[in-house]
Amino acid sequence: MEVIKAKNLVKTYNENEIEVHAVQHIDLSIEEGEFTAIVGPSGCGKTTLLNILGGIDEPTSGEVFVDGKEITKLNDNELIDFRLNNIGYVFQAYNLIPVLTAYENTEFIMLLQDWPKEKREKRAIELLEKVGLKDKLDSRPGKLSGGQQQRVAVARALASKPKFVLADEPTANLDSTATTQLLDIMYRLNQEENITFVFATHDQRVMDRAKRIIRLDDGKIIDDKKVD
C-alpha cells in the first residue's frame, strides 16, 4: 500500500537575491513497510525533501499525498493536526523536552491526542521497553546518553501509531556503538511491526541497512534502487 506519493515537487529559495533550487521536479512513491534512505552530499536537498514529505515545509509547487490525502492543500491548523496524528519524526538533535522524563516525553504526543491515562501509560512503557529503556522511565534527557536520548525520540515518534516515521540524520551525533544499537531497534521495528521508515542521511551505516536507496544531487533524484 502506498503511504506517501509526491508529484512534481519543486522548492526554490531566495538567498541574497540568488535563487536556490533545493528540490527540482521530484516524483516519488513510498510503500508501507519500506526502510528507505534518501542520500546524497550536503546541500543536495535531502532534508528539504524529507521536510516537504512530512508537512514541515511547503513546496513551491507540486503535491504530496499521505495515505491518499493531499497534505499540500491543508491550511496551517489542519496540517498541525494531520502531522500530530499521522507522522512520526526523529531529528538529529533529538528535540526532547528537557524538563520531562523519558516516560513523559514518550507520553507527550498521546496527551495532545487526548488518549486515556491508562492507554497512555501502557503504550509509553511498552515503547520504551521496545527501545531498551524500560529502566530509564524516570530519567530526564540530561541524565541520558546521546544514544539513549535518540531511542526515546524513536519511542515518542511511534507513540501516536503514525503512518510512517521520518528520520533526519538520526545517527549524526552518535558514536558507532549507539548508532548500531539505534539502527538495530529501528530495523527490528520495521521487520516485526511493518513500520515504515524514511531516512535522510549521509551515514554509510544507515545506507547499509536500507532496503531502498534514493540518491539526490542538486535537488534531483539521480538514482533509485531497491537493495536485496
Per-residue pLDDT at 77: 94
Per-residue pLDDT at 43: 85
203-223 pLDDT, tens per residue? 999 999 999 999 999 999 999
Per-residue pLDDT at 191: 92
Q: Would you place residue 228 in the very low, low, confident or very high pLDDT band (cuts 50, 70, 90)?
A: confident
- Say if residue 183's pLDDT is above 90: yes
Which range of residues forms the domain containing residue 18?
Answer: 2-226
**Contact (Cβ atoms closer than 8 angstroms) between residue 101 and residue 139:** yes
Average pLDDT score, the chain: 94
Per-residue pLDDT at 39: 96
How many other CB atoms are there within 10 angstroms of residue 128's CB atom?
A: 25
Inter-CA distances, 168 with 12, 82, 91, 104, 129, Å: 20, 19, 5, 23, 23
Average of pLDDT values for 84-99?
A: 92
The span from the CA of 52 to the CA of 59, in Å, is 6
Per-residue pLDDT at 90: 95
Per-residue pLDDT at 16: 76
Give pTM, 2 decimals: 0.92
% of the chain surpassing 90 pLDDT: 88
**CATH number of the CATH domain containing 157:** 3.40.50.300
5-46 pLDDT, tens per residue? 999 999 998 877 888 899 999 999 999 999 999 999 888 999
Average of pLDDT values for 174-182?
A: 93
Per-residue pLDDT at 180: 94
Average of pLDDT values for 145-168?
A: 94
- Say if residue 92's pLDDT is above 90: no
Q: Number of structural domains, the chain?
A: 1
**Contact (Cβ atoms closer than 8 angstroms) between residue 207 and residue 213:** yes
Average of pLDDT values for 75-104?
A: 94
Least confident of 10-19, 47-56, 119-128, 203-212: 10-19
How many other CB atoms are there within 10 angstroms of residue 141's CB atom?
A: 20
